[in-house]
Structure 1
Amino acid sequence: MKQLTLGMVAHVDAGKTTLSESLLYTTGTIKHQGRVDHKDTFLDYNTQERERGITIFSKVSSLDYKNNHFTFIDTPGHADFSGEMERALSVLDYAIVIINGLDGVQAHTKTIWNLLEHYHVPAFIFVNKMDLTHYTKEELLDSLSQLSPHIMDMSASEEDIVALDEEMIEEYLETGSLKDTSIAKAISNRHLYPLYFGSALKNQGVDELLDALDRYTLEKEPQTELSAQVFKITRDERGERLVFIKVTGGRLHVRDTIHDEKIHRIRLYQGNRYTLVEEASQNDIVALTGIKKLQAGDYIGLGHVIHSTLRPSMLYSIQPSKEADINHFFSSLKVLGEEEPLSIFFDKEAIKKEYTGKNDIIFLRLANTILVIVAILLILYLKDFVLDMPYIINKQYSYAEGYVTEQSHGGADISSERRSIFLYDKVKDDEIEITVFSRYIDKNTYLKVQYLPHTKYGAIVEIK
């Protein structure tokens, strides 16, 4: 049986979780097809995810189709959670890039595409919501061409498909036809990106996608020496540390030793449920318990450490409140830092070694691409804290200043919240919308703001 790891990646609201749900339902893996808007999907089981209607944490599920065992990683689509998405890319055999048929290629789609190129991940493309869009297939294909000229609607003629790869051209000239394995090789080499259209909510085009994954994918050669990649650290509901790995060669067993630490259990996850297994072999994605030292990006056996290519662009400081349990405060920040390595680092100079447990002001530095992930994780792990105004650490920022004409609430349930601020910028003589992380600001308040022009995310640097 062919065994592959596939990742669902997309700009937010393209329908990743809905497509995952459809694939699981179509193959009979789940009996009920949930909906994001009904808050009953198989994979978005976290309370924060269901309340917001978005994926925050990557989830693992699997299904059998014909002679294939596919393990799917449903990744977050919101740019706020790009780090969680990128870490999953390091263990993928193939990606399924979902495009919102109502919008075509969006800003975050390009970020995802660049990351797929960096990690050399072949990709299938599924244009979703074709039951709702007013765009034609041709218009959407034209939008996709900005990602690559090698994206091909697989309903096109063989001659059009052949033209994308020299080996396929040679085979077609010699035989007048193409083998599935030849197309699969072109996809694996990233010379061809197969394109399919449909509606995940209505299960349209899903059978065609499954058939393509069966016909046009290749499994890696077996490796006997042990190798595995760590891509996720999290905790279960009892607080037990889980190290998610993909085994890329050899076998791991319960009670095996990794860096002087013994594996207590090996969990095989399906959504939020798991079964205990005695061993994990090549291409398995499992969670290990009992391992405290491994971090996301580390490896076991053969391999190398994988570092994130994404970099934080904003910096915050946080301090415990007077009522905070300082030990719980620091241990919670350590947990947060393990689960989202991009989000937090300690400023050692600011933490005085002689701290005695009294209510001294201790600042820690929080960094993230965008701060919503910090807000949500802080809700989960901390109660008593103060989050200060941020400043931007990316050098390519601009300034805006003017009066607040309007603001919208971002929904983060902490004392500081994400808001869209509308400023009348007196410098540009124009109104500009900037997203900031701040407490409520009265209308007509005069602000000076730093912001990143390409994202319009910013930080308030002065209030008058």
Structure 2
Amino acid sequence: MNTVNIGILAHVDAGKTSLTERLLYSTGVIDRIGRVDDGDTQTDAHELERRRGITIRSAVVSFTVGDTKVNLIDTPGHPDFISEVERALGVLDGVILVISAVEGVQAQTRLLMRTLARIRMPVIIFVNKIDRAGARYGDLLESIRTELAPSLVAMTRVEEPGTRQARALLRRIGEEGFTDELAEVLAEHDDRFLARFLGDGPALTAYDYTDELVRQTGGAWVCPVFFGSAVSGAGIPELTRAVTRFFAGTPGQAGEGLRATVFKIERGWAGEKIAYARVHSGKFRARTAVSFYRRNRQGALTELTGRASAVEVFDEGSATAGRDAVAGDIAKVRGLKGVRIGDQVGTADGLREQHLFASPSLESIVKATAPGATPDLYEALSRLADQDPLINVRKDDSEQEIAVSLYGEVQKEVIKATLAEEYKLDVEFEGTRTICVERPAGTGEAVEEIDRKGRNLFWATVGLRVEPGEVDSGIVFRRSVEVGSLPHAFHKAIEESVRSTLAQGLYGWEVIDIVVTLTHSGFAAPVSAAGDFRKLTPLVLMNALRQAGTRVLEPVNAFEVEVPAENISSVLLNLVECGGTPHTTTARGSTCLVDGVIPARTVQDFEQQLPGLTQGEGTLHTRFHSFQPAPTPAPVRRNSGINALDRKEYMLRVSGRI
């Protein structure tokens, strides 16, 4: 049996979860369609999801169409949970992008489509809610073509849109207008097809048109568009057949060596980890030792080992069957205690090195209201970080403070509710602040040599030079010393220490876009150890960084705000007062769409004022855009852990005296 893995993506409230329910019902997996408002859907299984009526965690279900098994991942639509979408994209063969026929293309839809186009993911667009009042067809197609997919093909046409009798009818080869429309789109991407269409070669058959459409959809050149309704079922049979036709799956066979990607972690009833993994090749067996690989935030590769105690494969809905997982399967794996989201099992080949979406630009201090509960809170947040690695948890031992990274206020509410329900911890969040970064302002060098009579108490010689790197280059580590001048373990200790130390710069923020060069090295056999280099490197590095100086940069978000035309002047004025820079203003009938950039630190202020400026009709969407110099004086974040900027305190701490 062939297996295809697809995801459903959309702006919030476009009907993703309802579409999943309809697909399960139409393929015979369930005999009753659940409703999001009633909290009885298959994929919103978390109590918080049922209560809020939104998807928070990705969920997996499975159904069969003919001889093809379809594993479907329902992802969140709210931008605060964009990290769930990112993890799903790494394991999919194709995506159904859902758009509301009433609201049309929205800000989150544009963000998702840009990302899908960048990674060349095959996409089918499904326009939902054609039976809702205000549903559109012709002008919406033009909007999709202009804003999302220039090369689209409307595979269905709609009769009586906006009524309960709305129907989606499949367009066929030979139908008036459709053949020429299809040929025009396909010929744009294939000269041989164009030549045959113009009469140079054998005449094109219906099979040729269909085969070329399938090929170009799989290559992410063309985007088929289907219309329908998840509530009434209109257009669903056509969409279901399209999934197995347009998305290339994986035959269920062992093939090469094991390669699987972990995209979700949950906890069992006893608190044990359960990993969800897409198997790309090979076979995932229970009670078999495996290696799994990951990259840390600085890009260094780590290998770990474990033994899967149980492997289950999704089959018909959310049910699982205990058997070996083969290529194409999504497996639930138990027993890998150290596994994390994003790990690749079996091999490091093909391990993704960078995020598709920007990391959170906000953070907040979270405190337990009960005295003495800080250790329990840190443990609970660390477990949540296993399920969402972008919830970066920072602990300041000296102040007993814990900070978490966030995408927005909704995520903060969800974390608070989850801690209360699952861990019985009542917490309070302090005000949200933006996460800044530092970049080197110049060049600096420092060196410390082995000298038992001097300031260097470590059996190690380390010299480092720091200088600005290219924008978005992260941390680049180089050596100007001979590789054989130190044992490999000492070189590795220096590089690892450099990367971990740069998590906090002169102002307490992560240092990015920096080149660090090892200029001096030395050791004394047999007394030198890797620990000497790990402990000395932060002192040398921070001395060099102090000479170079750093600039603090704050995150800037791109924004799109849609408001009634009569309110545009007051909205633009408020945007400027919040530090925003409008770029373009586009009239859309009775509304105006404004885009531009705004400092992340003022987004919440503008968002709170928008309802009053627009009588509650304004909508705002933001996403990370870039970093720009922070206002003076530069914001400072207290350094957590052992601070190498204070040499005396550092030496006392690493020696264990305090």
Q: For 2:314 and 2:47, how far apart are their aligned partners in 1?
A: 19
Matched AA of 2:124: F
1:82 deviates by 0.7
**Does 1:262 pair with 2:304?**
no
Seen in structure 2, the aligned counterparts of structure 1 residues 325 and 365 have a Cα distance that, compared at 3 Å, is: closer
1:384 deviates by 3.4
Written as runs of structure 1 = structure 2, the 5 A alignment for 1:343-382 is 343-347=391-395, 350-352=396-398, 361-381=399-419
Q: For 1:43 and 1:230, how far apart are their aligned partners in 2?
A: 19
What secondary structure sits across from 1:455 in the alignment? strand
With normalisation by structure 2, the TM-score equals 0.58
The residue that corresponds to 1:448 in the other structure is none
Seen in structure 2, the aligned counterparts of structure 1 residues 161 and 426 have a Cα distance that, compared at 3 Å, is: closer
RMSD: 3.0
What secondary structure sits across from 1:396 in the alignment? strand
Q: For 1:16 and 1:341, how far apart are their aligned partners in 2?
A: 24
Larger fraction in helix: 2
**Does 1:232 pair with 2:245?**
no
1:305 deviates by 3.1
Instruction: Compare 183-192 and 10-19 and name the one that shifted more.
Output: 183-192
Written as runs of structure 1 = structure 2, the 5 A alignment for 1:186-225 is 186-220=216-250, 223-225=255-257
Matched AA of 1:300: V
Seen in structure 2, the aligned counterparts of structure 1 residues 152 and 90 have a Cα distance that, compared at 3 Å, is: same
1:133 deviates by 4.3
Q: For 2:79 and 2:575, how far apart are their aligned partners in 1?
A: 30
Q: For 2:221 and 2:101, how far apart are their aligned partners in 1?
A: 24
The residue that corresponds to 2:362 in the other structure is 314
Q: For 1:162 and 1:74, how far apart are their aligned partners in 2?
A: 33
Q: For 1:385 and 1:39, how far apart are their aligned partners in 2?
A: 26
Q: For 2:230 and 2:557, how far apart are their aligned partners in 1?
A: 39
Instruction: Compare 283-292 and 134-143 and name the one that shifted more.
Output: 134-143
The residue that corresponds to 2:276 in the other structure is 244
Contact 2:344–2:351, Cα closer than 8 Å, also in 1:
yes
What secondary structure sits across from 2:81 in the alignment? helix
* Percent identity of equivalent pairs: 29
Written as runs of structure 1 = structure 2, the 5 A alignment for 1:3-82 is 3-82=3-82
Contact 2:8–2:95, Cα closer than 8 Å, also in 1:
yes
Residue by residue, what CA displacement relative to the aligned partner does 1:209-264 show, whole Å, maximum 9, x if unpaired?
01222333323477422111111112134322111110000101001112331101
Matched AA of 1:150: S
1:117 deviates by 2.3
Q: For 2:133 and 2:350, how far apart are their aligned partners in 1?
A: 44
What secondary structure sits across from 2:556 in the alignment? coil
The residue that corresponds to 1:388 in the other structure is 430
The residue that corresponds to 2:379 in the other structure is 331
1:55 deviates by 0.8
Q: For 2:331 and 2:388, how far apart are their aligned partners in 1?
A: 19
With normalisation by structure 1, the TM-score equals 0.80
Residue by residue, what CA displacement relative to the aligned partner does 1:97-128 show, whole Å, maximum 9, x if unpaired?
00011111100001111221233210001000
What secondary structure sits across from 1:39 in the alignment? coil
- Where does the alignment leave 5 or more consecutive residues of structure 1 unmatched? 353-360, 399-421, 441-452
Q: Which has the larger radius of gyration?
A: 2
**Does 1:300 pair with 2:301?**
no
1:170 deviates by 4.7
Contact 2:282–2:326, Cα closer than 8 Å, also in 1:
yes
Structure having greater relative contact order (Cα 8 Å, sep ≥ 6): 1
Seen in structure 2, the aligned counterparts of structure 1 residues 90 and 144 have a Cα distance that, compared at 3 Å, is: same
Written as runs of structure 1 = structure 2, the 5 A alignment for 1:55-204 is 55-145=55-145, 146-154=147-155, 155=171, 157-163=178-184, 164=186, 165-166=189-190, 167-170=192-195, 172=197, 173=199, 174-177=202-205, 178-179=207-208, 180-204=210-234
Q: For 1:388 and 1:265, how far apart are their aligned partners in 2?
A: 42
What secondary structure sits across from 1:36 in the alignment? coil
Instruction: Compare 288-297 and 159-168 and name the one that shifted more.
Output: 159-168
1:378 deviates by 3.4
Q: For 2:623 and 2:213, how far apart are their aligned partners in 1?
A: 41
Residue by residue, what CA displacement relative to the aligned partner does 1:53-99 show, whole Å, maximum 9, x if unpaired?
11111110011111211110000111111111111011000000000
Contact 1:233–1:296, Cα closer than 8 Å, also in 2:
yes
Seen in structure 2, the aligned counterparts of structure 1 residues 168 and 286 have a Cα distance that, compared at 3 Å, is: farther
1:295 deviates by 1.5
What secondary structure sits across from 1:224 in the alignment? coil
Q: For 1:278 and 1:2, how far apart are their aligned partners in 2?
A: 17
Seen in structure 2, the aligned counterparts of structure 1 residues 210 and 271 have a Cα distance that, compared at 3 Å, is: closer
Contact 1:62–1:70, Cα closer than 8 Å, also in 2:
yes
